[in-house]
Amino acid sequence: MLHYDFMQRAFCAGALLALAASSLGVYLMLRRQALMADMLSHVSLAGIAGGAYLHVNPTVAGFVVAIAGAVAVEYVRRAYRTFSEISVAIIMVGGLSSAVILMSLAGNVNKSFSSYLFGSLVAVNRTELTLMLGVAALAAVFFLVCRRALYQMTFDEETAQTSGVPVRWLSLAFSVVTGMVVAAAMPIVGVLLVSALIILPAALAIRIASGFTAALVLAMLFGLTGVWSGLAASFALSTPPGGTIALILLVFLVVGIAARKLATMLGKRRTSVREASEQPPLNEARYSNPSLSTHESGGS
Amino acid sequence: MSLMSLDNVRFGYGSFPTLERVSLDVLPGELVAVAGPNGAAKTTLLKLMLGLLKPWEGDVRIASRGKAGKRLVVGYVPQQLAAFNSAFPSTVLEFVRSGRHAGGAWFRRLREEDRAATELALRQVGMWEQRGRRIGVLSGGQKQRICIARALAMEPDLLALDEPTAGMDPESRAGFYALMREETKTRGRAIVMVTHELNEAYPYADRVVVLERLENGGMRCCTTTSCSGHFAPALS
């Protein structure tokens, strides 16, 4: 399988995108913007159709329009501060309606359209691989450099702002990176399933991780495993890669949640058995001041 | 030198003014309690102080430098902060430690002093033993404590707290006020605290700001009462 050039490119591009998209998904979910990836993929569809109509490279046009959509959603989100999901609905309607009209005008786009909608292994050419490499590198730098500020902003924007985080600019940069990752992921997983690559690994990681860093690492691990196994299954079964990857990620999520529930149930049973055999110690936490009172040491 | 000052500030929502002619200075080392009935714009006043809202008229000045000429560090615990998304995948330690990256220090690695400040803050609120737990599984009162611990871990020059004692029992509230008093007197922090339990906060506060409803059209003004000398500091 890996002696084919196109499969090497697909595995390479898939790995890069899995890592970028999964970590992005953790932040998107926690900011309650899970549908943003879906919305931006629909907006980029308008770019692809527009590119075909204007005889511009559809991938590049989709990339540019996705970034423009990300910037637009950030401004609409500020206008509807308390209903941030409305911004997603508004921009999605604009993107999808433009895409439908431009598709009808650009007759030549229909043939290759299914590869944009559902993803295609052969769709990843060298230009797109270079684009993905650039996007993945940029996303990696962004998430590494801004991870602490992103954590604060994701938790609460107002406290982040008073802590000195430039929330407005950081949020805008985050949206632009989201747009770039979504547009770059389209050749592999397709417009319709791009959000699966972003959201499903994050959804599982958030459920089972003990901490924030662990959630990011687990999301990347699930994303990478899902994409590689999905690509391999897609090659073996001759199925569309987007749907195969999404289905495998969904199986990961269901199995992961079930395993988590089972572990919780077993943990509860063990606790109740232990509690039945011994008296639980009283642990009353109170405000204290170590400089004024002697406080017992609580370990390292 | 005041850390924060409002000068003849006027603010409202839509076309309805909610704060009129508000002037206030907050000095280092003082504890200011803000009180008033529901809907008296106490939270609005706090947000204006922090620069989160822009006034219609008047000036809001926040010092750019704090202790020893370093960048001013502001800690803020909003009213609903403890009602955060319980799915947020973070440990108590991770959460409180994030306060050490305030004031633009996101790029530097954590040092021993950061670990010590985090531990002290968690011990002060009685949550050190819970440091390894996920924040989402904590009770409402515990969530409130770690939000306060995070603000304390920042070692802020100015600490703004919006109803920080909501949901606390009387004994915890007394301990909390004593801790805040200690923070102002020994570490020189300025603390502005919105509270409903004015009777309990009064003995610890240096000043009380009362937001009152004006007779003409529901507008409000601000009066400041000095508490100094009324009560000896509770911890002295």
Q: What b/e readout covers A251-287, taking b as 16+ CB neighbours within 10 angstroms?
A: ebbeebeeeeeeeeeeeeeeeeeeeeeeeeeeeebeb
Which residues, given as ranges, of chain A have pLDDT below 50? 291-300
Mean pLDDT of all residues in B12-29? 83
Which residue of chain B has the CA closest to A293? B124
Choosing among B123, B169, B187, which should be mutated to test the A contact, i.e. which has the most A CBs within 10 A? Answer: B123
Q: Is the pLDDT of residue B106 over 90?
A: no
The token pair at B235 is 């911890």
pLDDT recorded at residue B215? 64
Whether residue B35 contacts residue B42, with contact meaning beta carbons closer than 8 Å, is answered with yes
pLDDT 10s digits, A128-158: 788 888 888 999 999 988 888 999 899 888 8
Q: Does domain B1-72+157-161+186-194+204-236 have CATH number 3.10.20.30?
A: no
φ/ψ (deg, to 5) at A98: -65, -40
Identify the bridge partners of residue B74 per DSSP, sorted by sequence position: B158
Provide the β-strand partners of residue B193: B33, B161
Enumerate the residues of chain B whose CB falls inside 8 A of the CB of residue A297: none
By C-alpha distance, the chain B residue nearest A296 is: B123
Closest C-alpha among A1, A110, A90 to residue A45: A110
CB distance A231 to A245 below 8 Å: yes
Q: Is the pLDDT of residue B170 over 90?
A: no
Question: B179 and A293 in contact (C-beta within 8 Å)?
Answer: no
Q: Which residue of A has its CA nearest to B106?
A: A148
Residue B6: helix, strand or coil by DSSP?
Answer: strand
Sign of torsion, CA A49 A51 A52 A58? negative
In the predicted structure, residue B127 carries a pLDDT above the cut 80: yes
By CB neighbour count within 10 A (0-12 exposed, 13-18 middle, 19+ buried), where does A60 fall?
A: middle
Could you tell me the sign of the dihedral formed by the alpha carbons of A280, A281, A283, A284, in that order?
positive
User: Which of A82, A154, A156, A159 is the best substitution to test chain B (most B C-beta atoms within 10 A)?
Assistant: A159
* Residue B204 pLDDT > 90: no
Task: Say yes or no for a CB contact (<8 Å) between A30 and B85.
Answer: yes
Q: What distance in Å separates residue A9's CA from the closest CA in chain B?
A: 34
Q: According to the model, what pLDDT value does residue B212 have?
A: 75
ipTM, 2 decimals?
Answer: 0.80
What is the reported pLDDT for A157?
87
Q: Which residues of B touch A149 (CB under 8 A)?
A: 101, 106
Indicate the residue type of B205. A
Closest partner residue to B128 among A165, A210, A298, by Cβ? A298
Task: Give me the pLDDT at residue A200, please.
Answer: 92
Among B53, B64, B65, B88, pick the best mutation site for testing chain A contact (most A Cβ within 10 A). Answer: B88
How many whole angstroms separate alpha carbon B183 and alpha carbon A146?
31
The boundaries of every CATH 3.40.50.300 domain in chain B are 1-72+157-161+186-194+204-236
CB B198, CB B208: distance < 8 Å = yes
Supply the pLDDT for residue B225: 65
Radius of gyration from C-alpha coordinates of chain A: 22
**pLDDT level of residue B218 (50, 70, 90 thresholds):** low
Q: Return residues 26-85 of B near A (CB < 8 Å).
A: 47, 50-52, 71, 73-78, 81, 84-85
Name the burial class of residue B210, with classes exposed (0-12), middle (13-18) and buried (19+) by CB atoms within 10 angstroms of its CB: middle
Give the model's pLDDT for residue B40. 80
pLDDT the model gives residue A238: 85
B residues 174-203 closer than 8 Å to A (CB): 175-176, 178-179, 182, 186
Nearest to B90 among A212, A290, A299 (CB): A212
Mean pLDDT of B22-36: 87
Topology of domain A5-274, per CATH?
A: ABC transporter involved in vitamin B12 uptake, BtuC (1.10.3470)
- Candidates B13, B103, B17, B24; CA nearest to B60 is B24
Distance linking the first and last C-alpha atoms of chain A: 51
* Surface of A (213-242) touching B: CB under 8 A: 213-215
